[in-house]
Chains A and B, each alone.
Chain A
């Protein structure tokens, strides 16, 4: 069984987690043009590599970020969104 580490609850079986897609900046819906908005809604970066993704530990409803290699399925790091913001600051 594959294990993922929830930043709050520690290591748990992967079946307890839901995948929420890649972390992507959203353009401002009030000012953006239609083409950019359509590209934001539909297009995805489906090139294999290390990505930042949203994941949720379902039983505790904890949303957090995982860094995962989408070619090898290796989970490199998991952390809460707030920590990511601190890292940037």
Chain B
């Protein structure tokens, strides 16, 4: 049997089709150029091709497809945010997620688990209640639950937290889900590729050329190309590209780290988040615990990992789950989070004609991948901000019209 298996693997009778068309040279011009082959850039490419028939498009990626924050995040998908702007936007995204595996014919391991945000203080309980009411007003399943309900969904948790900071309740969000992040990038990438979009990996953009306030082309590590429309979806590298255009922004870049444990039998069904303990955790289909904490405390443009992070997060994990004391951590990593002062993204048109931004997604942008792709494709084609992103423009910082989204992850509140 193993020999047969080996023969099968080596035979050319059932070749696995390549996911992407290998690309060699850039064309001299494209109708649009997308910088960054993360989930956001690829989703925009996909919807441009699928919904608007715009296929003379290049996606340029300096590293490898999905190798940025898309392939580094802890994959939590939810829509129980705090502001009406945020709730509407993320809810639409959650709706899109549910059909994606079918649409791509690719298993995204989209897994609906339910999501508990624990409250350890009266103040956070109050915020939870506020969030639940805003959510319900928009028809989103979101409610405040007590320690008994939490214990029922997760019997392994020590809700007394060793007596230190007992869990008083939680915001429960039934639609909370996780998905396989790489597959999301592959699915959107393959869908775009099959429709004729060119994805060029190992191709770095050095700058965007303009003339009289309009985009005319981009300079890349493989030469110059002409285009009148550029979508910039480069997460932690956004300030560098903006700088070349003379645009200023409030983005600040801090690393966000994460880690996984060795695989275990399935025991943790829901996603558990504690803002006070700086812990979020879920168990993957492979049995590993995927864990994240809060943003690194200072600016850094690098994806280095630290031991402090692992020590701190393990200590808090053990407060909630003391029985894990013998479980090993097997991997850790970091991504560069592009943070904004109001925890809302920066999206849409800019003062440079033909230059569109999808950035400021910091610690919370994986869940928004489908809706960002959709709204950015619309915005690029119509040269008009999609209704759902009106409140997210870069201009809001000139007019003091901030969003105030305190429902974001990995931020103290």
Contacts and interface: CB of A to CB of B under 8 A. Distances in A.
A70 B398 CA distance: 27
A24 to B, nearest CB: 12
B302 A72 contact: yes
B246 to A, nearest CB: 12
Contact of A48 (B249, B301, B307, B397): B301
Interface stretch (B106-114, B292-300, B370-378): B292-300
Contacts of A42: 250, 341, 397
A14 to B, nearest CB: 8
Interface string A34-75: 010011001111111001010000000000000000111100
A72 B243 CA distance: 20
A19 B248 contact: no
B122 to A, nearest CB: 26
B280 to A, nearest CB: 21
Contact of B248 (A14, A18, A43, A53): A43
Interface residues of B, number: 24
A43 B302 contact: no
Given A35-B398, A42-B250, A43-B248, A71 B308 contact: no
Interface string B371-406: 000000000000000000000000001111000000
Interface in A3-49: 14-15, 18-19, 22, 35, 38-39, 42-48
Which of B243, B298, B306, B398 has the most CB atoms of chain A within a 10 A radius of its CB? B298
Contacts of B251: 44, 46
A1 interface: yes
A38 B302 contact: no
B217 interface: no
Interface in B279-317: 297-302, 304, 306-308
A45 B248 CA distance: 8
B298 A38 contact: no
B299 A38 contact: no
B306 A70 contact: no
A45 B298 CA distance: 14
A39 B247 CA distance: 11
Given A1-B307, A46-B239, A47-B243, A39 B248 contact: yes
Interface string B242-258: 01000011111100000
A18 B304 CA distance: 19
Contact of B249 (A22, A43, A73): A43
Contacts of B239: 44-47
A29 to B, nearest CB: 14
Nearest to A43: B248
A36 to B, nearest CB: 11
B251 to A, nearest CB: 5
B240 interface: yes
A18 B306 contact: no
Contact of A2 (B240, B302, B306, B398): B306
A46 B341 CA distance: 13
Contact of A70 (B300, B308, B341): B300
Given A15-B308, A19-B297, A35-B398, A71 B249 contact: no
Nearest to B398: A38
Interface of B: 239-240, 243, 248-253, 297-302, 304, 306-308, 341, 397-400
Interface of A: 1-2, 14-15, 18-19, 22, 35, 38-39, 42-48, 51, 53, 70-73
